[in-house]
Amino acid sequence: MARTAGFRLGIYVFKDAEIIDYAAPAGVLSVARRLDPEIEVFLIADALRPVQTQAGLTVMPNYSFAEAPALDAFLIPGGFGTRQEMHNRRLHDYIRALPESCLLTSVCTGSWIYARMGLLDGLPATNRKEPDRLEASHLGKTPIDRLAEIAPACRISRARVVDAGRIVTAGGIASGMELGLHLLRRAGMTMPSSPTWPGSWNTTAPGISTRTTSSTPTPLPPAAPPPDTFRPERKRPCRSSTTPSIPMSASARAAPAAATAARRRTISTFNRCRIAPWKAP
């Protein structure tokens, strides 16, 4: 695959966009800038004003729709705000005006927007497969089932990342990082293998890229051998609050038997004095 010089990713931010959906791909490309300083990632919004995303986190976009920056890939994150963005005509017009060479990508429920525009008809796509509390109730529906409802002609896939050519969709929240890595591969970058993440990307299936684990499982560390004998924990005697504390000298530590006898005599004398009846002078 030919390497794309100066790969530019534009991430669309809107009200109530999921933070990790746009932060994870942006973080992957920002780290990749250490290997290729020509990589750029920036935020795009309807207008150049602060945008309040999920949980009240406010971000400032770098570009607006009117500025029309040059893009190699356009990403729509998920979040509760996608329910309104499905009907955003300005967003739809901006997407249709993008050149054919620009990749259209999404994370989680961001694929709903492409489905509403009819861009997923006849193509494989995915969405989040785990419902939240409302979606799991009788009032809601799992996002991937909602995707099938919005675009009946779409070929629903349960893979984490689905590459259908120009359109690349990713599943749930944690797949945003995997989408960022896949975009780097589409840009022609060779990613080094990581010993902490055994696995590879399977691109043999046409139009679908999924992460597959290695066929050889990672061996578990050997278990510690059992002890030869079991030694129960010794319980320390509880000292009474009325028992006097007797300091032990060096001679007492040298002769524990004598110290024990002296301790018993002192305690006995103390008890006799304490319980003796009081007599008036």
The domain that holds 131 is classified in CATH as 3.40.50.880
- How many CA within 13 A on the CB side of residue 130? 6
* Residue 2 scores a pLDDT above 90: no
Q: For 69-103, how does the pLDDT look when each residue is reduced to its tens digit (9 = 90+)? A: 999 999 999 999 999 999 999 999 999 999 999 99
Range in 27-41, 93-107, 200-214 with the lowest mean pLDDT: 200-214
pLDDT at residue 213, rounded to an integer: 35
Q: State the pLDDT confidence band at 5, using cuts at 50, 70 and 90.
A: confident
Distance CA 14, CA 77 (A): 9
Q: State the pLDDT confidence band at 128, using cuts at 50, 70 and 90.
A: very high
Domain for residue 185, yes or no?
A: yes
- The total of structural domains in the chain comes to 1
Distance CA 211, CA 50 (A): 36
Q: State the pLDDT confidence band at 132, using cuts at 50, 70 and 90.
A: confident
Domain for residue 13, yes or no?
A: yes
**Over the chain, what is the mean pLDDT?**
80
Domain for residue 199, yes or no?
A: yes
Q: State the pLDDT confidence band at 6, using cuts at 50, 70 and 90.
A: confident
Domain for residue 259, yes or no?
A: no
Domain for residue 171, yes or no?
A: yes
**Sequence letter at residue 62:** N
Domain for residue 265, yes or no?
A: no
Domain for residue 117, yes or no?
A: yes
Residue 199: give the domain boundaries: 8-212
Share of the chain above pLDDT 90, in %: 59
pLDDT at residue 204, rounded to an integer: 35
* Residue 12 scores a pLDDT above 50: yes
Domain for residue 206, yes or no?
A: yes
Highest mean pLDDT among 113-122, 130-139, 188-197, 236-245: 113-122
User: What is the SS3 assignment for the chain?
Assistant: CCCCCCCEEEEECCCCECHHHHHHHHHHHHHHCCCCCCCEEEEEECCCCCEECHHHCEECCCEEHHHCCCCCEEEECCECCHHHHCCCHHHHHHHHHCCCCCEEEEEHHHHHHHHHCCCCCCCEECCCCCCCHHHHCCCCCCHHHHHHHHCCCCEECCCCEEECCCEEEECCCCHHHHHHHHHHHHCCCCCCCCCCCCCEEECCCCCCEEEECCCCCCCCCCCCCCCCCCCCCCCCCCCCCCCCCCCCCHHHHHCHHHHHHHHHHHHHHHHHHHHCCCCCC
**Sequence letter at residue 204:** T
